[in-house]
Chains A and B, each alone.
Chain A
Amino acid sequence: MTDTQNHEDATMSKTLYERIGGEAAVNAAVDIFYRKVLSDPRINRFFDNVDMEKQAAKQKAFLTMAFGGPHSYTGEDMRKGHAHLLKMGLDDSHFDAVVENLGATLQELSVPQELIAEVVAICETTRNDVLGR
């Protein structure tokens, strides 16, 4: 199990999570991001039957992880959490759409491009677990 990775940039003394703005950044991003996801016709059917409040809490945990913050997601959690979506046809295109929405959210919040690239790189490390490969 590849668990919490240390995303600290060797050349910087601060972690990505600190540079991006920590919990405040997560709070600023969560509503914008979730709104984009729910409005995206490519992926919103996966969210039709979820409890919105529970889902919002999960989105927060996801963003914290993607921003390199403290989390305890394991690859196994990722697999279990998305298994039912695979049955609904979840594939790479949907994963890409979520990452795209996250990137657009961060752009909207004027996060520098190089930090967005780091966030996207963290998301990429979960792709195979999310897609059950």
Chain B
Amino acid sequence: MYKLTIEEKVYACQADETVLDALLRGNVNISYACKKGTCHSCLVRSLDAVPPEAAQAGLKDTLKKRNHFLACLCHPEQDMAIKLPDQSEFYTEGTVVVNEMLNRNTLLLAVAFKDAFEFNAGQFVNLQRADGLTRSYSIANIPQESNTLEFHIRRLPGGKFSGWLHDEIRVGDSIAVSEPRGHCFYLPERHGQGILLVGTGTGLAPLAGILTDALAHGHSGPIYLFHGSREFEDLYRIDELCQLAQRHQNFHYIPCLSGKHVPAGFSHGRADEVALASLPDLKAWRVFLCGHPDMVKQMKKMAFLKGASMKDIYADAFLATPV
């Protein structure tokens, strides 16, 4: 018999029981459906023990790395502390250290922490205002010695949270930041593999983090970044990315504009369409998609049809919360 701990409570898991059965017997409110590892409804995370291999069957590598597992397939091999997906989050106070515009409607916000903030580039956090208003934002940088996180904040029409960040927050103010979440990040393996990054708008944020991470790990395969918006004024970091492409022979940056006015040096069309036209075969590529949910959905399918394996396609569609 092993002990399962969720927050302060301890549940006993009998020898023939799965984690899911033990928790259900203990009246824990955990979501589940098929009980056979198919639906992934009961995906939970171990906070200490590495889960048994069988309990991670079929999960993405990035989920495995963060000790996620399927409660319905898990026969524990030791005591485990478990985190349920809907469990209340732990927030850390950070201090705003940079607050400047990247383009006409996108703010660069950097938040510093006293202690190390562990995350993988490409993950997202929830930012919370003192009154409890909360929004998810992707982290745009890689872990720094200075313990800072960067965010790209687009001002949404009538957006309460983005409006607050754009208009009111100042350098020196504090802001609550949740633990990092999401499985859209780079794993330093298969260094020669092609990497395709496609993003629209501030979907560039997680991709920039993933790109920096891959280059820092010496990824040697081709890396293509297609960043798109309708108008030139809504792209950003163009010069920095061009310079990065000059310094790294394997990195290719293709800014895409879908509107009428397309200056020299920019590709005409939607980022996903330009990417598909440029890279006809994605067999054995790793693909990261961030931005407009329709683009992400469509591109996921197309990348798969063009040969990318489902387990190599990563996406965290960030959904704009209705005002």
In the complex, the answer to whether B301 meets A38 with C-beta atoms within 8 Å is yes
26 contacts between A and B (CB under 8 A): A31-B304, A31-B309, A31-B310, A34-B304, A34-B310, A35-B304, A35-B305, A38-B301, A38-B304, A38-B305, A52-B300, A52-B301, A52-B304, A52-B310, A53-B40, A53-B310, A54-B39, A54-B40, A56-B310, A57-B58, A58-B38, A60-B38, A60-B58, A61-B36, A61-B38, A71-B36
B85 to A: closest C-beta gap in Å = 15
B262 to A: closest C-beta gap in Å = 31
A3 to B: closest C-beta gap in Å = 13
Contacts of B305 in A (CB 8 A): 35, 38-39
In the complex, the answer to whether B39 meets A57 with C-beta atoms within 8 Å is yes
Write out, one digit per residue, whether chain A residues 22-50 have a CB within 8 A of any chain B CB (1) or not (0): 00000000110011001100000000000
A68 to B309, CA, bound (A): 25
Q: Is A11 an interface residue (CB 8 A)?
A: no
Q: Which residue from chain B places its CB closest to the CB of A23 in the assembled complex?
A: B57
Chain B CB count within 10 A is highest, among A52, A60, A72, for: A52
A109 to B: closest C-beta gap in Å = 15
Summarize A's interface: helix, strand, loop or mixed: helix
Contacts of A72 in B (CB 8 A): 36
Q: Which residue from chain B places its CB closest to the CB of A60 in the assembled complex?
A: B58
Q: Interface size of B by Cβ–Cβ distance < 8 Å?
A: 12
Contacts of A35 in B (CB 8 A): 304-305
B300 to A: closest C-beta gap in Å = 5
A8 to B: closest C-beta gap in Å = 21
Closest 3 pairs between A and B when the two form their complex, measured CB to CB: A61-B38, A56-B310, A57-B38
Contacting residues of chain A (111-126) with chain B, CB-CB under 8 angstroms: none
Contacts of B38 in A (CB 8 A): 57-58, 60-61
B294 to A: closest C-beta gap in Å = 12
B64 to A: closest C-beta gap in Å = 15
A60 to B310, CA, bound (A): 12
B55 to A: closest C-beta gap in Å = 15
Contacting residues of chain B (35-81) with chain A, CB-CB under 8 angstroms: 36, 38-40, 58
Q: Which residue from chain B places its CB closest to the CB of A36 in the assembled complex?
A: B305
B306 to A: closest C-beta gap in Å = 9
A31 to B303, CA, bound (A): 12
Q: Which residue from chain B places its CB closest to the CB of A64 in the assembled complex?
A: B38
A53 to B300, CA, bound (A): 10
Contacts of B301 in A (CB 8 A): 38, 52
Contacts of A61 in B (CB 8 A): 36, 38
Contacts of B36 in A (CB 8 A): 61, 71-72
A39 to B40, CA, bound (A): 26
A72 to B38, CA, bound (A): 11
A52 to B304, CA, bound (A): 10
B68 to A: closest C-beta gap in Å = 14
A71 to B37, CA, bound (A): 11
B39 to A: closest C-beta gap in Å = 7
A79 to B86, CA, bound (A): 31
A60 to B309, CA, bound (A): 14
Contacting residues of chain B (85-132) with chain A, CB-CB under 8 angstroms: none
Contacts of B40 in A (CB 8 A): 53-54, 57
Q: Which residue from chain A places its CB closest to the CB of B303 in the assembled complex?
A: A52
A52 to B313, CA, bound (A): 10
A71 to B34, CA, bound (A): 11
B92 to A: closest C-beta gap in Å = 30
A54 to B39, CA, bound (A): 6
A72 to B33, CA, bound (A): 13
B290 to A: closest C-beta gap in Å = 16
